[in-house]
Chain A
């Protein structure tokens, strides 16, 4: 019945468009096993040489390390900052909750190229360029709005009655929060953490403005490499990055369910 209304022309068009949408990601996988010296598709010989050569590239390995450290820094800072803010906005409802929420999610409305430049100019004068702190602060401008949105939604969806019961039985507000509210928010916090990590790990434009010669992230190193030459090295790194992303997404999916975690 459902399918009857969809004619064959639409189905064929949809199939072709899906191929168009997915082909640039799919093509990277066979390319990473290329044995060629240059980018040639389809490759005429196959090998693992590009995977092996990743480990000989100091810059890429260092970039990966920096990305992971900054990702973890940003994720923990994001949770520590977004959780109290969400609590004020959803629970305490003091002055202008609505206004605060809009202010804190506003950075997402600005293009990252403008944000990156604006932060570059400020950080240059205080010596934060090319430092872990500088890049992590730059990432926070993007992860905080996402995390705040997820955490606030998760907090607003909790059954308030359990907290009231605990308070009636004599628990102090902080005990209620620690023993009742926080455990119930665990799925929301996990989604916020995973999304913050992925956003930080994938961020490139702001990082490009803030990275220095020694401290720069994996996506930035990939971009710099690609800006000069395109060889299968990037394909091999890309396959590893996609695997990492899939792992994070699967962890969230297993523990909270993807639709509950990211899509609301």
Chain B
């Protein structure tokens, strides 16, 4: 009887990391949207990844049109890796000028997609394609999620401010 089950290691695949750091993501990393931008701040929050010490601050400028709250502008600051920075850049690109309610849905959708590895189709898949490769790199998911989780905190704060106003 064979006591030891043969161990099958994952074969290193050179394409993998290149896929993670694909050109679209590197473009956001090297020219991030909203990075260190100065805006009037309606709400802000600092998020950290306790495992690695990465930190990011997300700031939003909120406008009110009738009963709707809009994200007029959004910015981020902090020291983080390329995945986190690109994710934050994509976030700034996608939620600027959206209603707070739509931004919240988008953030919830994306975090759900990354956490559960659900496939996206249509417009959303295109919008977030540079980030979706992170699904194959479980260790790096937390880097991509940090800006979006931080945004959800900012939105909660903005909602809270609008109710108490």
A binds B: no
- What is B's interface to A at a CB cutoff of 8 Å? none
- Chain A residues with a Cβ under 8 A of chain B: none
